[in-house]
């Protein structure tokens, strides 16, 4: 798997990027290449490839289609499909893209190299690209590596990615960047006052835990909290088979904040980072928490469990309360929290909530820059009543399910009362159909938009 650029050598083929229908660009090619393009009907469709042979039958150059504005709007990273179609070799991109478009194009190329090959070898693209001039190649490579970490963590089945394995992965990440890790697990969760993490995770054979990573010694403070439900059966409110099938990905929030943390550390951003991952399996056993139970959270708020399948907000709540105790400058949670978010925006968009308009603006800009689309939903105060059941402070699963992503976000916000700015992402973490640079399977959502937005959000 290669998610890096190739060193520049003499043995490099020109790869000429052509906009759809740009006949002038084809006319500018050497005569034999223009004739070859015409003879083959090359039109510059997005991701289309045409190899132009020289006199001796070796590769003289390759043409790659960049489509038109409409095609690119319909297909993110569409050009990346060219990488897999190109013959083995090293290429240098010839283009007239803006810096932003060039960055997206080059990132797509790198991400097209991702394969999940832990359990079976996969064929990999043989074409390499020399880092295009004017790009921060190292930054793009760090972003691609962070995204690959996220995908690997999500794709790995729960048998090999339980709470214990997730802890190992976090320790490995920390070791690589001089970060520290603290873990509170099992019965110690009760002593340390994380009752809801314990309640959700206690039925599983692998112990629930709260994993706490810290890195950096100067600069503004940023705390990332990721939902680490390594498998979500739904608990006693068991999910039907079809809904349970994909629930290895219910640690997608954890995987995504860990990918982002890796990017932040690799790029040495001048900030102090804390990552909190409540890692549990929502399992079924005699000691499982039950519908109707009322849990007292770390923060002291009581929660009536009206559905054991709304477990993510419970484990996050205790982690958020801990994070809030030291009032970081900015707190961000990421979670595969609700089916309702998927109904609202589908698999592609990352809905987010922000307590400060400035953060939402920065994220929208970052999303465009990083080709990582986000969409703001509101912390809609008039719906607060929907999460108040009467016999406890909070209801984890309001009846009816109206505005299910919003009520979940409002629930989380009750545990963030002192931190000045809070952003929450309700992500999917999964790409259901293969697309260029984004194979079917685990995928990071929102991390690249955040990385791009952080300098503005934290005044770095």
- Tell me, what DSSP letter sits at residue 386? G
Question: Cβ of residue 9: shortest distance to ligand BES, in angstroms?
Answer: 45
Catalytic residues: 239, 313
What does 342 bind: Zn ion, ligand BES, none (CB cut-off 5 to 8 Å by kind)?
A: ligand BES
Which residue carries 């499909």 as its tokens? Answer: 81
Contacting range for ligand BES; rule: CB under 6 A; set: 169-177, 332-340, 344-352, 355-363: 332-340
Q: Closest approach of Cβ 108 to Zn ion, in Å?
A: 30
* Positions in 43-102 near Zn ion (CB under 5 A): none
Residue 452 contacts Zn ion per CB under 5 A:
no
The site partner of 338 among Zn ion, ligand BES, none (C-beta below 5 to 8 Å per kind) is ligand BES
Nearer to ligand BES, 65 or 351 (CB): 351
- Give 270 or 346: the residue with its C-beta nearer to ligand BES: 346
Q: 205 to 234, contacts with Zn ion by CB under 5 A?
A: 229, 232
Q: State yes or no: residue 312 binds ligand BES (CB under 6 A).
A: yes
Comparing C-alpha atoms, which of 441, 394, 383, 354 is closest to residue 147?
441
Q: Which is nearer to ligand BES, 265 or 303 (CB)?
A: 303
- Residues 46, 73 contacting (CB under 8 angstroms): no
Q: How far is the CB of 426 from ligand BES (least distance, A)?
A: 8
Of residues 183 through 242, those in contact with ligand BES by CB under 6 A are: 232
86 contacts which partner out of Zn ion, ligand BES, none, CB within 5 to 8 A by kind?
none
Q: Does residue 424 bind ligand BES (CB under 6 A)? A: no
Distance, in Å, from the CA atom of 366 to the CA atom of 450, rounded to the nearest integer, reads 7
Cβ pair 37, 52 in contact under 8 A? yes
Q: Which does 353 bind (CB under 5 to 8 A by kind): ligand BES, Zn ion, none?
A: none
Q: Which stretch binds ligand BES (CB under 6 A): 121-129, 310-318, 325-333, 437-445?
A: 310-318
- Residue whose structure tokens are 């419970």: 314
Rounded Cα gap, residues 209 and 207, in angstroms: 6
Among 47, 216, 259, 312, which residue interacts with Zn ion (rule: CB under 5 A)?
A: 312
Distance CA(295)–CA(227), nearest Å, equals 19
Q: φ and ψ at 263, to 5 degrees?
A: -60, -45
Distance CA(261)–CA(232), nearest Å, equals 24
Residues 249 to 268 in contact with Zn ion, rule: CB under 5 A: 250
Q: What span, in angstroms and rounded, lies between the C-alpha atoms of 221 and 212?
A: 14
Q: Six-digit token pair at 163?
A: 């709470």
Check: CB of residue 129 under 8 Å from CB of residue 84: no
Query: Residues in the site for ligand BES, rule: CB under 6 A?
Result: 232, 250, 307, 309-312, 336-340, 342, 397, 404, 428
């Amino acid at each position: 798997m290669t998610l890096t650029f190739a060193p520049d050598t003499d043995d490099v083929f020109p790869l000429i990027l052509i906009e759809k229908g740009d006949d002038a660009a084809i006319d500018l090619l050497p005569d034999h290449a223009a004739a070859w393009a015409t003879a083959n009907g090359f039109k510059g469709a997005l991701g289309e490839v045409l190899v132009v042979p020289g006199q001796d039958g070796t590769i003289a150059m390759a043409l790659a289609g960049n489509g038109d504005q409409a095609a690119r709007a319909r297909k993110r990273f569409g050009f990346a499909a060219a990488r897999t179609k190109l013959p083995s070799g090293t290429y240098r991109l010839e283009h007239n893209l803006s810096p932003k478009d060039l960055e997206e194009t080059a990132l797509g190329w790198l991400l097209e190299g991702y394969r999940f090959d832990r359990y079976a070898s996969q064929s990999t693209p043989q074409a390499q690209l020399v880092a295009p001039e004017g790009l921060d190649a190292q930054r793009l490579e760090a972003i691609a590596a962070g995204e690959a970490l996220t995908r690997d963590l999500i794709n790995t089945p729960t048998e090999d990615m339980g709470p214990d394995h997730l802890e190992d992965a976090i320790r490995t990440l920390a070791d690589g960047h001089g970060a520290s890790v603290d873990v509170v697990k099992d019965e110690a969760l009760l002593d340390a006052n994380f009752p809801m993490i314990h309640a959700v995770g206690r039925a599983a054979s692998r112990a629930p835990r709260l994993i706490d990573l810290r890195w950096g010694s100067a600069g503004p403070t940023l705390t990332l909290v990721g939902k680490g439900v390594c498998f979500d059966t739904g608990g006693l409110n068991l999910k039907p088979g079809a809904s349970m099938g994909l629930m290895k990905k219910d640690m997608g929030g954890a995987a995504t904040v860990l990918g982002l943390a890796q990017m932040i550390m690799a790029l040495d951003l001048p900030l102090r980072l804390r990552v909190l991952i409540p890692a549990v399996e929502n399992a079924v056993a005699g000691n499982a928490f039950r519908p109707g139970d009322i849990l007292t959270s770390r923060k002291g708020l009581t929660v009536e469990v009206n559905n054991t399948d709304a477990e993510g907000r419970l484990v996050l709540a205790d982690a958020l309360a801990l994070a809030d105790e030291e009032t970081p400058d900015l707190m961000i949670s990421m979670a595969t929290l609700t089916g309702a978010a998927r109904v609202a925006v589908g698999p592609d968009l990352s809905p987010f909530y922000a307590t400060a308009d400035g953060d939402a603006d920065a994220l929208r800009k970052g999303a465009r820059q990083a080709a990582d689309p986000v969409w703001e939903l509101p912390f809609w105060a008039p719906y607060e009543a929907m999460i108040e059941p009467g016999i406890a402070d909070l209801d984890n699963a309001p009846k009816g399910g109206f505005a299910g992503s919003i009520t979940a976000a409002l629930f989380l916000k009750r545990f963030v009362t002192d931190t000045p700015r809070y952003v929450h992402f309700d992500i999917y973490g999964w790409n259901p159909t293969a697309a260029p640079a984004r194979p079917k399977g685990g995928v990071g959502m929102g991390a690249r938009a955040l990385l791009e937005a952080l300098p503005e959000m934290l005044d770095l």
